[in-house]
Structure 1
Amino acid sequence: MSSDRHTPTKDPPDHPSSSSNHHKQPLPPQPQQPLSRYESQKRRDWNTFVQYLKSQNPPLMMSQFDYTHVLSFLRYLDQFGKTKVHHQACVFFGQPDPPGPCTCPLKQAWGSLDALIGRLRAAYEEHGGGSPDTNPFANGSIRVHLREVRESQAKARGIPYRKKKRRKTKNEVVVVKKDVANSSTPNQSFT
């Protein structure tokens, strides 16, 4: 036999040029777990804030905003609020359940704003916003604003919007009767 010829050897199975690995198809991407309610809300809040920045004149980039823009965003959100906050001049100021309507504004509830800021603070850090020390959502002015909102709503006894409850029809009421005679079990002895 000639020394020019050599018999081919099989590559080990873990070698990259191995025929067994060469014909493998890439694995399809695994479906992602559905986001938790918190993660979904955080993503929705972040997208709303980014859209708000883009709607400013001139539009703001993510690297350009600071705590003043966060404060203006919170004030902007008040127009979508459902909590009645009475002015000091209102005859219903301080009454938890006023007997009639008034022209006082609806605003965002303090608890909603506080939770929103918490989610946006986390989203900012997840989107590469930098250190927690420079996070505009964690700025002291934001905390002061939230404290003022909480105190003013507590004084005014803001009334949350109450959705009217739909009355149940007779068909929706389910009555469960228990057969007393068949529900008892005889005493069993374990001997």
Structure 2
Amino acid sequence: MSGERGGEGPSRWTTGESQQPPPAPSRYESQKRRDWNTFGQYLRNQRPPVLLSLCTCSHVLDFLRYLDQFGKTKVHLQGCIFYGQPEPPAPCACPLRQAWGSLDALIGRLRAAYEENGGTPETNPFASSAIRVYLKEVRDFQAKARGIPYKKKKKKATDHQQGRGSVPLSNSTTIHFS
């Protein structure tokens, strides 16, 4: 009987069936966790440190402005000779900023992480209207600076048929819930 239980053959403990490591988190989940940890570190580094329970949309806006210094997207200033040109012919001294799309995705991940970590939707500082206004201003400014007006991508007709959160109002208008 050495190694076997009552003649039943190898147990599931010796074959490793239940010792499977948990599946690796998705790329989105990993990024969301990194973003959440970065925001938490930002709050702890404030003088005085800010408790997450006391965090407001003002702290979130300050965080977004702080992140701007690490951006990689050239955003021409209004006085620049290349302002409004989608593909400038030469380099300039305009700053690098966070791209609007990156900020928008970041806020989406932080909004979800806040609620997953015990925050309520009613107190979520990432869901504030001030954050939406800020993101819209960044989007519009960056579009003008690049000379490319921002246009929403139109949803495919099959998206509505598959129930993806859009409700047609007429033939030309669609409301998207976010």
TM > 0.5 between the two?
Answer: yes
| Structure 1 contact 85–158 (Cα < 8 Å) conserved | no
Distance in 2 between the 1:72 and 1:57 partners? 13
Distance in 2 between the 1:158 and 1:109 partners? 15
Select the structure of larger CA radius of gyration: 1
Question: C-alpha root-mean-square deviation of aligned residues, in Å?
Answer: 1.8
Q: 1:122 aligns with which of 112, 117, 134?
A: 112
Measured after TM superposition, the shift of residue 154 of structure 1 is 0.2
Residue 90 (structure 1) aligns with: 80
Q: 1:134 aligns with which of 118, 123, 126?
A: 123
| Structure 1 contact 94–156 (Cα < 8 Å) conserved | yes
Could you tell me which amino acid in structure 2 is paired with residue 156 of structure 1?
A: A
Residue 53 (structure 1) aligns with: 43
Could you tell me which amino acid in structure 1 is paired with residue 59 of structure 2?
A: H
Measured after TM superposition, the shift of residue 29 of structure 1 is 6.1
Measured after TM superposition, the shift of residue 100 of structure 1 is 1.3
Matched, 1:64 2:54: yes
Matched, 1:73 2:63: yes
Could you tell me which amino acid in structure 2 is paired with residue 35 of structure 1?
A: P
Identical pairs, percent: 71
Could you tell me which amino acid in structure 2 is paired with residue 125 of structure 1?
A: E
Residues 12-31 of structure 1 aligned to structure 2 (within 5 Å): 30-31=20-21
Residue 146 (structure 2) aligns with: 157
In proportion to residue count, which structure has more helix?
A: 2
Residue 42 (structure 1) aligns with: 32
| Structure 1 contact 83–158 (Cα < 8 Å) conserved | no
Moved over 6 A (4+): none
Q: Which runs of 5+ in 2 are unaligned?
A: 1-12, 149-178
Distance in 2 between the 1:30 and 1:123 partners? 27
Q: Which runs of 5+ in 1 are unaligned?
A: 1-24, 160-191
Measured after TM superposition, the shift of residue 31 of structure 1 is 2.0
Could you tell me which amino acid in structure 2 is paired with residue 41 of structure 1?
A: Q
- For normalisation by structure 2, the TM-score amounts to 0.71
Residue 10 (structure 2) aligns with: none
Per-residue CA distance 1:129-156 (angstroms, 9 max, x = gap):
12x1221000000000000000000000
- Seen in structure 2, the aligned counterparts of structure 1 residues 42 and 102 have a Cα distance that, compared at 3 Å, is same
Measured after TM superposition, the shift of residue 158 of structure 1 is 7.8
- For normalisation by structure 1, the TM-score amounts to 0.66
Distance in 2 between the 1:35 and 1:64 partners? 29
